[in-house]
Amino acid sequence: MTRTARGAAFAEGLETAGAWLLAVLWILPLAYAAWTAFHPPEFSTRFALDAPLTLQNFANAWAAAPFARYFVNTVALAAMVLAVQLVLGTLAGYAFARYEFAGREIAFWLVLVQLMITPDILVVENYRTMSGLGIVDTVPAIGLPYMASAFGIFLLRQTFKTVPRELDEAARVEGAGGLATLWKVYVPLAKPVYIAWGLVSVSFQWNNFLWPLVITNSVESRPLTVGLQVFSSTDQGIDWSIICAATLITAAPLLVAFLLFQRQFVQSFMRAGIR
Amino acid sequence: MRRIVRALAVAAALAAGAAQAQTAEISFYYPVAVGGPITKIIDGLAADFQKENPGIKVTPIYAGTYQETIVKALTAHKSGSPPVTSVLLSTDMFTLIDEDAVIAVSDLANSAEDQAWLKGFYPAFMYNSQTGGKVWGVPFQRSTIVLYWNKEAFKEAGLDPNRPPATWAEMVEYAQKLTKRDAAGNVTQWGVQVPSSGFPYWLFQGFTTQNGVELMNPAGTETYFDKPEVVEALQFWVDLSRKHRVMAPGVIEWGTTPRDFFERKTAMMWTTTGNLTNVRNNAKFDFGVAMLPANKRRGSPTGGGNFYIFKKSTPEQQQAALKFIRWITAPQRAAQWGIDTGYVAVTPAAWETPVMKKHVEGFPAAAVARDQLQYAVAELSTHENQRVTKALNDGLQAALTGAKAPADALRDAQREAERILRPFRR
Amino acid sequence: MTTRFSAGIHGWLLLLPAAALLAAFTHFPAVATLVQSFRSSPKPNRPAAFVGLDNYRTLVEDPVFWQSAWNNVWYALGTIPLSIALALAMALAVNRGLRGRAFLRMAYFTPTVLPMIAVANIWLFFFTPQYGLLEQVTGLFGAPSHNWLGSPSTALACVIAVAVWKEAGFFMIFYLAALQQIPPVYAEAAAIEGASRWTYFRRIVFPLLMPTTLFVLVNAVINSFRLVDHIFVMTRGGPDNATSLVLFYLYEVGFKFWDTAYAAALTMVLLVVLGGIAIAQFGLLERRIHYR
């Protein structure tokens, strides 16, 4: 073995070790949550191999807060936001990609403003708007500011622009109108983009916290994140066993979905050309 | 057959109509962060009350934490449909008055019997419930700070496990014996722990009260953060870690403090009486509960929630709410509430009930908070309460982390509080 | 002519629903914030009134605001480069096909799916003095105990670490997608030329990744002003405002003190900063937006 080859092998080994170390660090909170959730409270700070397993923490967490209701709220929120985002984003992206109209450039810049000025920053004014509309403490109020997504509009505009004009024209020759062409030609071609964006959108809404915290104040509208915060901030101090169980309960749907679809997920990102 | 059914239906409708005519419905916001046992107790109490008072329907609404409940109540007040009554922090009194949201309970409770009832609460709980000669809140779920100690650790350190420290000097002396260091000089067990995250002002009031000084006037328009006795109190708190080295340095997290105690990382801790059940369930060693130690005197602030009655409800609803509050604070129920939840029963009469006497007999620690009440003072509460409190909290944390000397930190906090309170001092 | 005209109408009609929502929840509130920042907060006995620059004067004199602003600068300087560098390193590692790359990819990505508010409690345990995980590890090496979140000197760094942990895996996905689109011929050519892997990365891969880096950079910058969830659990801005960020302080002022006018002035600060960065970045990004 030459010296450089040995050096290269050494460097490679170092990189592999580094990559694994990083991975262990990154998964540690999840690993801890799993450990603590399945063991009795005495083992939440001690890691003994002979610790008995239990499901009691899950039972306690489930009984201690109306998680079922929080799930319903969160699913309703994420589904509602995603559905509206997809429809509005498709229409707007199509308009920007394929229509010539006065003020298009300015309108596009105005859309891009939301990339920077995200709704999280405008909580005070948006709260005022929602109370003006009389919908404070409702699920739609949580979703409204996010329903038009600049990110989505931008993505779809880029994707639609790559659709060959000939396909568009062929559809129109067959007598399809603007919306029919969009539905038959553009939407099917943009499928990977929809998947990638859908995943980002759902995980964003699933984990969003500040705005829901501000705008909700009852069990009927609270999403999981806010429910979890209310539940973990008691006067009696932190009970990690029950919090870890609750964390796993809350994160489980997304985690499972990701584990099942991780390859497709990355590939749809790749095909979506988000880079 | 059909005719009978129809007759029954008519009768039922009539009965319902008649009942409706007499029913006063009172919506009742109650702050509870989680479901589980406490909501069941409240639901049970509301149902019992309704059984005894068929004309009144109590609808409890569980609104989350105290912070969320007041936000919800004030938002509802501004939009014109507040609850009839709500349990909110006793320190929210000035905020509620400033928002013109609540009515003085003493204005409603004008019969001699009612007045006598209002006089039946522990005075310590009433300090935070009245201002300007009127009573605005009725004590319900109240707490104070107490000292928990690990009897095993006391034994190991050669201390009498049944004798908690009674004075500041004793607390330091015990804590020095209880602080254990390993060969490298690292601490494995601290002597004492007084948490300082989140709301350090509350624990600080323990020190200031013991040093014989109050932090604000009863009108909630002035603060005395820079008085020498207050500075002394903060110096003592800071010295616990900096000079005596018996408490962990820096800001100590409130949420992990009970856990630190269970893990034997601290031999004594100051925390709320509300933690009694938690400690009882989780401490794997023999523990004791004591009043906070004295310096010039004993003392602790009170904390927790009061009943308020909202202005924008009908006089009938307000009277019905008053009736409900009187009913729920009656000795028998106050006693049971205290036993079930760990809050301090709010009237001396409640402690005289047989059920409470029996409870104390079996678990003497439960009575410590009551005995401390004679020394207790009002929790810090002023106009613009959240802001003034933040000014003090920031100063306390600055001193505890060594960023500022206690005198400087408190002078800055006082200056900020004066600026905030200036508009109210006319 | 008429077709162009009707195309224009159609274009606007397609855009209308999204534009209406954006106007209602982004543009209108941004302008309304500006207006509100010149008024006082309404009180029951004192309705809101025009107060000119009073709120901004308060802001300039407010030490907590300045501290939050400086903290935010450090937070940005800590999270942005670290999360981007780690994301790139992760993407390179996963892309190289190391053994167990499926596991690596999953490990790196999990923080993205876990709710910040929940894991913040877990991180709180990691940073707990004495028996916390970090202390259990440092204790093995005989290091003295340290109050990580309770000391102003380390609290902000802990909060930054959690933010980096949360973000890096998400950014990795973008890099990974970009890396997989680099044609393998480049690597082969570099190998024939005898270029070292480092040279190959520096001269070929990194420049090709530039558009992705810009995209990730924009997101990282926005997040450094937006990502405050964990502060609610871990420190509540303490000790003594050492971890208070502008958005967190804005929440306190707006929804704990109910001083909406002053909160509007604070919002303006964020709007101006983000607007300024946007102009700078869009200048750079322009090429990228049109390059297709």
* H, E, C per residue of chain B: CHHHHHHHHHHHHHHHHHHHHHCEEEEEEECCCCCCHHHHHHHHHHHHHHHHCCCEEEEEEECCCHHHHHHHHHHHHHCCCCCCEEEEEHHHHHHHHHCCCEECHHHHCCCHHHHHHHCCCCHHHHHHHEECCEECCEEEEEEEEEEEEEHHHHHHCCCCCCCCCCEHHHHHHHHHHHCEECCCCCEEEEEEECCCCCCHHHHHHHHHHHCCCCCECCCCCCECCCCHHHHHHHHHHHHHHHCCCCCCCCCCCCCCHHHHHHCCCEEEEEEEHHHHHHHHHHCCCCEEEECCCECCCCCCEEEEEEEEEECCCCHHHHHHHHHHHHHHCCHHHHHHHHHHHCCECCCHHHHCCHHHHHHHHHCHHHHHHHHHHHHCECCCCCCCHHHHHHHHHHHHHHHHCCCCCHHHHHHHHHHHHHHHHHHHCC
Q: Point out the residue among A113, A118, A275 whose CB comes nearest to the CB of C178.
A: A275
The whole-angstrom distance between A138's CA and the closest CA on chain C is 16
- Helix (H), strand (E) counts: chain A: 14, 0
Element (H, E) at C268: helix C260-290
B35 and A235: CB-CB below 8 Å? no
The residue ranges of every structural domain in chain B are: 19-142+303-375, 144-300+378-424
The reported pTM is: 0.89
C130 and B263: CB-CB below 8 Å? yes
Report the pLDDT value the prediction gives residue C155, as an integer from 0 to 100: 93
Report the pLDDT value the prediction gives residue B268, as an integer from 0 to 100: 95
C124 at interface of B, judged by CB pairs closer than 8 A: yes
Evaluate whether residue C214 is within a structural domain: yes
The whole-angstrom distance between C227's CA and the closest CA on chain A is 9
Domains of chain A: 29-64+234-275 (no CATH), 73-222 (1.10.3720.10)
Burial zone of B11 (CB within 10 Å; 0-12 exposed, 13-18 middle, 19+ buried): exposed
Count of A-B CB contacts under 8 Å = 65
| Residues in chain C within 8 Å Cβ distance of A123 | 250-251, 254-255
B72 and A218: CB-CB below 8 Å? yes
| Residues in chain C within 8 Å Cβ distance of A222 | none
Q: Point out the residue among B33, B69, B282 whose CB comes nearest to the CB of A234.
A: B33
* Tens-digit pLDDT profile for residues B157-193: 999 999 999 999 999 999 999 999 888 788 889 999 9
Q: From residue C286, give the alpha-carbon distance in Å to each of A109, C118, C211, C217.
A: 11, 38, 11, 15
- Candidate CATH numbers 2.60.40.1180, 3.40.190.10, 3.20.20.80, 3.40.50.880; the one for domain B144-300+378-424: 3.40.190.10
Closest chain C residue to the Cα of A151, Cα to Cα: C219
Q: What is the mean pLDDT of residues C6-35?
A: 90
Give the total number of structural domains in chain C: 1
Closest chain C residue to the Cα of B392, Cα to Cα: C240
Pairing label, strands B302-310, B85-89: antiparallel
| Residues in chain B within 8 Å Cβ distance of A217 | 63-64, 68-69, 71-72, 75
Q: At what angle do helices A104-116 and C210-226 cross, to 10 degrees?
A: 60
Q: From residue A121, give the alpha-carbon distance in Å to each of B143, B258, C39, C223, C266.
A: 38, 36, 19, 11, 10
| Residues in chain B within 8 Å Cβ distance of C256 | 67, 386
B403 and C152: CB-CB below 8 Å? yes
Closest chain B residue to the Cα of A214, Cα to Cα: B68
* Chain A 23-82, residues with CB within 8 Å of chain B CB atoms: 41-42, 45, 63-66
Q: A interface mutation test: which of C36, C108, C114, C219 has the most A CBs within 10 A? A: C114
Count of other CB atoms within 10 angstroms of residue A173: 8
Domain that holds residue C161: 50-290
Print pLDDT tens along chain B (426 aa).
455 555 555 455 444 444 444 578 888 998 875 445 677 888 899 999 999 998 889 988 877 778 778 888 887 887 777 889 999 999 999 989 988 899 999 999 888 888 889 999 999 899 889 888 899 999 998 989 999 999 999 999 999 999 999 999 999 999 999 999 888 788 889 999 999 988 899 999 999 999 999 999 988 899 999 999 999 999 999 999 999 999 999 999 888 899 899 989 999 999 988 888 788 888 899 999 999 999 999 999 998 899 999 998 899 999 999 999 999 999 999 999 888 887 889 999 999 999 999 999 988 888 898 899 989 999 999 998 889 999 999 999 999 999 999 999 999 999 999 999 998 886
| Residues in chain C within 8 Å Cβ distance of B392 | none
| Residues in chain B within 8 Å Cβ distance of C252 | 390
Evaluate whether residue C7 is within a structural domain: no
Confirm whether B19-142+303-375 and B144-300+378-424 share one CATH topology: yes
| Residues in chain A within 8 Å Cβ distance of B264 | none
Q: What is the mean pLDDT of residues A11-26?
A: 87
| Residues in chain B within 8 Å Cβ distance of C142 | 184, 186
Which residues of B touch chain A, with CB atoms under 8 Å apart? 33-36, 61-65, 68-69, 71-72, 75, 79, 254-259, 263, 271-272, 274-275, 278, 282, 284
Evaluate whether residue C60 is within a structural domain: yes
Q: What is the mean pLDDT of residues A94-121?
A: 88
Report the pLDDT value the prediction gives residue A271, as an integer from 0 to 100: 67
SS3 category, C221: helix
The whole-angstrom distance between A236's CA and the closest CA on chain B is 5
Query: The domain spanning residue C171 has which CATH number?
Result: 1.10.3720.10
Tell me which fold the domain B19-142+303-375 belongs to: D-Maltodextrin-Binding Protein; domain 2 (3.40.190)
Residue C292 in this model has a pLDDT that exceeds 50: no
Residue A3 in this model has a pLDDT that exceeds 60: no
Instruction: Name which of B91, B84, B120 is nearest B346 in CA terms.
Output: B120
A91 and C15: CB-CB below 8 Å? yes
Q: Point out the residue among B33, B259, B282 whose CB comes nearest to the CB of A230.
A: B33
A255 and C113: CB-CB below 8 Å? yes
